[in-house]
Chain A
Amino acid sequence: MIRNYLLIAWKVLLRRKFFTFVSLFGITFTIVVLLVVTALLDHIFAPHYPESNLGRTLGVYAVVQQGDQSKRTGFAGYTLLERALRQLENVEQTAIIQAQNKVASYQDDGRKLELFLKRTDDAFWRIMTFDFLEGGPFSASDYEQARPVAVINQSTAAEMFGERSALGQSIDVDNQQFRVVGVVRDVPFLRVLPYSDVWVPLTTSRGEQWREGLSGSLFGIVLAHDHSDFPRLKREFAGRVAQLPIPDKEFKTVRAELRTLFEFVALDLFEIGDTSRLRMVIAVLALMFMALPAINLINLNLSRIMERLSEIGVRKAFGATSPTLIGQFLVENVVLTLVGGAAGLLFAGLVLSALNNSGFIPSAAFSLNFRIFGWGLLLTLVFAVVSGIYPAWRMSRLHPIEALKGDSR
């Protein structure tokens, strides 16, 4: 029976090539956009290199100080992170990371390179899972002694030293001299926390001013033993922040919270009340986006039924029940949509690889992984059923005599 359904589905597709093309184009385009957007979201929010531990990581992304007249929103200051984040109990690691700066780096041959510089601590290398191509991270003692050592990424190493080993080489970055102790595989640009070209100990920062203040230019991250520790850590951190003395007389309260990256985007960037609502907004947008081609497909499917009245009448006369006909029509729609879905997957792969190679987003590593493939397949099937069920129902309700007469009312 299924072979017969598949055969007729294929024949029906070939019968009206233009309609089939329009349907397939709609499905393919929708699937491509959904997959590319999903890959983008996955790329930003899912645990990937070097943030494999993202599922156990919370961050301090913003600090708000408020007074009667004024309000300051910014990144965290060292004092706040040292006194609130570093004091958290029963965690695996805590790290402090400076927001990256674009700085100049002068080469021996007079070339000037523009590089991203990030200052951080030794724990950063234990929370992130970088792939070291040469050497290793800087140590706790490098950090404490403020030794001028640096880890650089693969592209920077190639740019500065070509084929030669970068280890032990001296580099000039932000008018400071550092000795290279490690080279890592490039980090995708959209990985905001770990992304950089050069990483050096935070303690090598000039002057002492960076050690002051509740607000500053730092992020803090904490690696929990388990995801289930998050509520406890959030409470503990908020409690500690609330007790901090506020040096700036202008302000009366200070507020900072531990958040997952997704929570930070939902709550602080988009100011959407909670993360489930952001998920819902994304889901609704996706559904609305899928609705347009689905409605188009419903329309095309309905007009196709008109061409097949005689077949419907015959099948009913020879014993097909309404549910059987619905099944047949859904199989046909699933075939059409799977063909569109397969084309969508193919084109999405091409688009992502073009995005990766375009240099539009530095070190982008969008990929159609199996999770996204699964999502794609699921979306395609939902699409097939949604756009097929109403026409199938209409078809199954046709009276056999009317269908045989070619009357669709």
Chain B
Amino acid sequence: MIELQEVEKVYRTDRVETLALAQINMSIARGEFVSVMGPSGCGKSTLLNLVGLLDAPSAGRVLLDGAEVGHGSDRSLARLRNSKLGFIFQSFHLVADLSVIDNVQIPLLYRALTTRERKSMATAALERVGLGSRVHHYPSQLSGGQQQRVAIARAIVGRPDILLADEPTGNLDSNMGDEIMSILRELNEEGTTVVMVTHDQRMAAQTHRIVRLFDGRQVN
């Protein structure tokens, strides 16, 4: 489903050239739950950004369902992100000015859907994460765990094939972290491919496979 071939990522500024990833070769099959681990600055998030088409590799190829997607146009990448990918961030990134249901609808705004369709899909996604009673709340009225569940609802509302989670439990206590982890596991059992960056060995242990990075290289 996802394939990285000889992927390299270099960040260049006027004076410094930083090698963030080198010689990454990996493939993630449909339905897998993969965690990416490694010390801070080892390139975990960079890897996730490349898989999530938020960034382009400096060298090598990124393939999604067999098609090279590493260097698409703004429009084609946006369409792929919208239809195939869902993101969960460590700091939730909810829009404070929008209610829970309006936040969840964001990915659907970029699809040809009616208001009614969007609303019913968003409600279903919120019910899926156990927040059906909080649709008209605002993010500031929710606990951290609830906010992350809203973020998961937003990530799954468009029924993406792949969920990309960047330290989804990093800002939560262990109880809330477990809650989030169980939702992710359930989603995976229902067929969604999940790639999760984490520092937490306990969380990583619950996934099918761990990819370890060190200084931008795979060390499996």
Question: Which residues of A are interface residues toward B (Cβ below 8 A)?
Answer: 1, 3-4, 7-8, 11-12, 15, 310-311, 313-322, 324, 399-401, 404
A–B complex contacts, Cβ < 8 Å, 9 sampled = A310-B93, A314-B95, A318-B106, A319-B81, A319-B107, A319-B110, A321-B74, A324-B110, A401-B54
In the complex, what residue of chain A is closest to B80 when comparing beta carbons?
A319
In the complex, what residue of chain A is closest to B79 when comparing beta carbons?
A319
Which of B97-105, B177-185, B210-218 is the interface stretch? B97-105
Question: Which residues of B are interface residues toward A (Cβ below 8 A)?
Answer: 49, 52, 54-55, 74-75, 78-79, 81-83, 86-87, 89, 93, 95, 97-98, 102, 105-107, 109-111, 115, 154, 158
Given contacts A7-B102, A317-B81, A321-B78, contact A1 B95 (CB under 8 A): no
The interface residues of chain B lying within 8 Å CB-to-CB of A15 are 97
The interface residues of chain A lying within 8 Å CB-to-CB of B74 are 321-322
Given contacts A12-B97, A314-B106, contact A320 B78 (CB under 8 A): yes
CA distance A15 to B140 in the complex (A): 14
The interface residues of chain A lying within 8 Å CB-to-CB of B55 are 399, 401
Q: Which among A7, A11, A319 has the greatest number of chain B C-beta atoms within 10 A? A: A319
The answer to whether A404 touches B93 (Cβ under 8 A) is yes
CA distance A316 to B55 in the complex (A): 12
Q: In angstroms, how far is the closest chain B Cβ from the Cβ of A17?
A: 14
The tally of CB-CB contacts under 8 A between chains A and B is 66
The interface residues of chain A lying within 8 Å CB-to-CB of B89 are 404
The answer to whether A314 touches B105 (Cβ under 8 A) is no
The answer to whether A11 touches B98 (Cβ under 8 A) is yes
A315's partner among B75, B106, B111, B115 (CB-CB below 8 A) is B106
The interface residues of chain B lying within 8 Å CB-to-CB of A317 are 52, 54, 81, 87
Given contacts A3-B115, A401-B54, contact A316 B78 (CB under 8 A): yes
The answer to whether B97 touches A8 (Cβ under 8 A) is yes
The answer to whether A313 touches B93 (Cβ under 8 A) is yes
In the complex, what residue of chain B is closest to A8 when comparing beta carbons?
B97
The interface residues of chain A lying within 8 Å CB-to-CB of B107 are 318-319
The answer to whether B54 touches A318 (Cβ under 8 A) is no
Q: A314-B93, A318-B82 are in contact. List 12 more A-B contacts (CB 8 A).
A: A4-B102, A4-B105, A7-B98, A11-B97, A12-B97, A317-B54, A318-B106, A318-B107, A319-B79, A319-B83, A319-B158, A401-B55
CA distance A399 to B49 in the complex (A): 12
CA distance A315 to B97 in the complex (A): 14
The interface residues of chain A lying within 8 Å CB-to-CB of B97 are 8, 11-12, 15
The answer to whether B154 touches A318 (Cβ under 8 A) is yes
The answer to whether A401 touches B49 (Cβ under 8 A) is yes
CA distance A12 to B98 in the complex (A): 10
Those 9 A-B pairs whose CB atoms lie nearest each other, nearest first: A319-B82, A11-B97, A318-B107, A319-B110, A321-B78, A311-B95, A317-B87, A400-B54, A314-B93
The interface residues of chain A lying within 8 Å CB-to-CB of B83 are 319
The interface residues of chain A lying within 8 Å CB-to-CB of B110 are 318-321, 324
Q: Which among A11, A310, A317 has the greatest number of chain B C-beta atoms within 10 A? A: A317
The interface residues of chain B lying within 8 Å CB-to-CB of A313 are 93
Q: In angstroms, how far is the closest chain B Cβ from the Cβ of A191?
A: 52
The answer to whether B87 touches A318 (Cβ under 8 A) is yes
In the complex, what residue of chain A is closest to B45 when comparing beta carbons?
A401
CA distance A3 to B110 in the complex (A): 13
The interface residues of chain B lying within 8 Å CB-to-CB of A399 are 55
The interface residues of chain B lying within 8 Å CB-to-CB of A1 are 109
CA distance A4 to B130 in the complex (A): 24
Q: In angstroms, how far is the closest chain B Cβ from the Cβ of A164?
A: 68
In the complex, what residue of chain B is closest to A314 when comparing beta carbons?
B93
CA distance A11 to B97 in the complex (A): 6
CA distance A54 to B58 in the complex (A): 70
CA distance A319 to B105 in the complex (A): 12
The interface residues of chain B lying within 8 Å CB-to-CB of A321 are 74-75, 78, 110
Q: In angstroms, how far is the closest chain A Cβ from the Cβ of B68?
A: 20
CA distance A313 to B166 in the complex (A): 14
Q: Which among B83, B105, B106 has the greatest number of chain A C-beta atoms within 10 A? A: B106
Q: In angstroms, how far is the closest chain B Cβ from the Cβ of A330?
A: 16
Q: In angstroms, how far is the closest chain B Cβ from the Cβ of A34?
A: 32
In the complex, what residue of chain A is closest to B106 when comparing beta carbons?
A318
CA distance A132 to B93 in the complex (A): 71
In the complex, what residue of chain B is closest to A396 when comparing beta carbons?
B74
The interface residues of chain A lying within 8 Å CB-to-CB of B54 are 316-317, 400-401
CA distance A314 to B74 in the complex (A): 15
In the complex, what residue of chain A is closest to B151 when comparing beta carbons?
A314
Q: In angstroms, how far is the closest chain A Cβ from the Cβ of B76?
A: 9
CA distance A315 to B98 in the complex (A): 13
CA distance A319 to B75 in the complex (A): 9
The interface residues of chain A lying within 8 Å CB-to-CB of B82 are 318-319
